[in-house]
Amino acid sequence: MRLLSYLRPYWRKLILLFICTTLFAALSGVSLTLIPPFMNILFSEQHQQETGTEEEGGQSLLIPPAVEDRIDRVKERAKSLIYKGRPVDRLARFCVLFFILMLIKNILDYFSTYLTIYLEQSILHSIRNELYGKLQMLPMSFFDNQKTGHLISRVMNDVTNLRGAIVGGLASIIRNLLMTVIAVTIIFYTSWKLSLLTILLVPVNVLLISLISRKLRKGSRRAQEKMADMTSVLQETISGVRVVKAFGMEEFEKSKFNIFNFQYLRVYLKMRKLAELASPSSEMLGMIASMTILWYGGRLVIDSELAPANLMMFLVAMLWVVSPIKNLSKLNNVIQEALASGERVFHILDIPTERDRSGKIRTDAVERNITYRGVSFSYENGPEVLSSIDMEIARGEVVALVGPSGAGKSTLADLLPRFYTPTSGSILIDGVDIAEIELESLRSLMGIVTQETILFNDTVFNNIAYGLDDCDPSAVEVAARAANAHRFISEMPDGYNTVIGDRGVQLSGGQRQRLAIARALLKNPQILILDEATSSLDVESEALVQEAIDRLVKGRTTLVIAHRLSTIKNADRIVVVEDGGITQSGTHEELIGEEGTYRKLYHLQVRV
């Protein structure tokens, strides 16, 4: 029902689809009723005159007398048209009538198929957009526990699998149910005795399909999980192909992928084996029923209780009803797969977003200070990373965080833009808790440059102007010059319009960092977070990047995380973080002059 709710914007086309589908099913039923007139045309009316049984087929227990009288009147009019004139003329009129009927039926089939595809793909488009948008809004804590390949599989494979349960499934259910109802109606009208015999054989088929469907959904869910595992391995190895080749691990990665691929194959084949069992089993039961009915119906004809033409119509209707029932059994398999995917898609759509916990206060600047007040933090199901942090950063002050790896420096910085939420305590900007500030407003104050620079497979210009609409090219160039990036950009084949490849693969580490700094400069943030921005660069690149950083931090409230202590000697204040707490705080000269971790770390680096 939740999937079907996506049909609301398309209700007009859905009604049109329903009309086309209904008329198609109705005309399919009409084509069955032409069998007796056709046989009578071929064999004249000799059998009627001998047995007088043509009108004795309407032995129905279900149709009221008034309705049956109306049907008889329609039949009389039809007979006057079909049986008028010579047999050759009758046959010609019948062929024209049948051709027109089939033409209209196929036109309706075309429109219903196109409308199904249109509605189906439109809804998948909406769901995929909604799911991707939801992923953009989820907190960082969600991504800490997810594999990238699994998320890609949800957006691509699982959403694609939903198509069987939305419009296609709904249209197919309507069409096949109507065709079944029409065929059953014809069957009952033709002979209620044969119909009652048929009813005795149907429950076995229904029971078989229901047993298979329960197991099928479970198998489909497992198959989709294995596909997600395989997608995850593929994404990781392609992203880390440089490391794979450097360590000569190609064969290892091939064997690992083969294991996941084989697991998917095994689960998928098991599921398909069960799914494909439904159709032939249902068909065989249908054939057994048909043979039983053929024998009993033949006895009725021999005893002159049923016209041969009506028996033929009954048998054709019986065989015809097998097709929609068979389609419904196959459709059940598709729907079970789709519902398993739907559970995985809606699980993500139901996760609370960052915006759900966003405050309402807007802010445009840091007027006084940023205050950490008793801040503690631990990752989900993990030990405490930060414990009772108290720290104040004045407006325009440059504060550097140093300490051993794993001490909590990056986490302390990540709490400021609310990538994570403190487990206790609060962070305030000008006395206002950031939890009460609108998230978009809060992050608009900040520019972030990290060690792992994220660039996109786009032009240099678009990477620098990321997040800004209708950006002035001259402003981009000014930012690039201030970041010491204009020179190498000008030397590129298309200058600022050069596409730099996935994650900026065509650039060196120093060039990528300078583009990231240019991006931050162009945003002109109030608060700046620099997380290991120069740690992986060579001496020449580091000098260029450091010069750009010095321009970037002027007049901005800055939080710097650095392992190279030589890059932060000019910071207004250096804070030493150890074991989740602050152990030292002061200027470079003050900390060098006292015993403690900072002096040890500095002397170790100087010796090196």
State mean pLDDT over 397-403.
88
Q: Residue 61 — very low, low, confident or very high, per pLDDT cuts 50/70/90?
A: very low
Residue 498 backbone dihedrals phi, psi, to 5 degrees = -75, 130
Give the architecture (CATH level 2) of 369-607: 3-Layer(aba) Sandwich (3.40)
> What pLDDT digit, counting tens, does each position of 106-131 carry?
899 899 888 888 888 888 888 888 88
Return the C-alpha torsion angle 581, 584, 588, 590, nearest 10.
Answer: 170
DSSP 156: I
Describe the crossing of helices 202-239 and 250-302 by its angle, rounded to 10 degrees. Answer: 160
Count of helices and strands (H, E) across the chain = 23, 10
Which pLDDT does position 373 carry in this prediction?
Answer: 92
- pLDDT of residue 47 exceeding 60, the answer is no
Q: What's the sign of the alpha-carbon dihedral 530, 535, 537, 543? A: positive
The pLDDT value given to residue 63: 53
Taking only the tens place, the pLDDT of each residue in 199-250 is: 776 666 666 666 766 677 677 777 777 877 787 777 777 766 666 766 677 7
Global pTM reads 0.65
Task: State yes or no: pLDDT of 38 exceeds 70.
Answer: no
Residue 45 above 70 pLDDT?
no
Q: Residues 6 or more apart from 330 whose CB is under 8 A from it?
A: 278, 279
- The domain at 4-137+144-227+268-349 falls in which architecture? Up-down Bundle (1.20)
Q: Are 400 and 568 in contact, with CB atoms under 8 Å apart?
A: yes
pLDDT for 371: 92
CB of 331 closer than 8 Å to CB of 169? yes
**Residue 277 in this model has a pLDDT that exceeds 80:** no
Percent of the chain with pLDDT over 90: 3
Q: Mean pLDDT in the chain?
A: 78
| Domain ranges across the chain | 4-137+144-227+268-349, 369-607
| Whether the domain at 4-137+144-227+268-349 and the domain at 369-607 fall into the same CATH topology | no
For 331-387, what is each residue's pLDDT tens digit?
Answer: 777 777 788 888 888 888 888 877 766 678 888 888 888 999 999 998 877 788 898
For CA atoms 552, 555, 556, 560, the dihedral sign is positive
Residue 375's pLDDT is what?
Answer: 92
Number of other residues whose CB lies within 10 A of the CB of residue 519:
26
d(Cα 393, Cα 372) in Å, to the nearest integer? 9
Lowest mean pLDDT among 269-278, 282-291, 345-354: 282-291
DSSP string, 219-277: HHHHHHHHHHHHHHHHHHHHHTHHHHHHTT-HHHHHHHHHHHHHHHHHHHHHHHHHHHH
Go through the chain and tell me how many residues it has: 608
The pLDDT tens digits for 190-205 are: 777 777 776 776 666 6
In 501-550, which ranges are E strands?
527-531
Whether pLDDT at 304 is above 70: yes
Give residue 246's pLDDT. 63
> Encoding tokens for residue 440?
């978009």
Residue 536 CA to residue 509 CA, distance in Å, equals 8
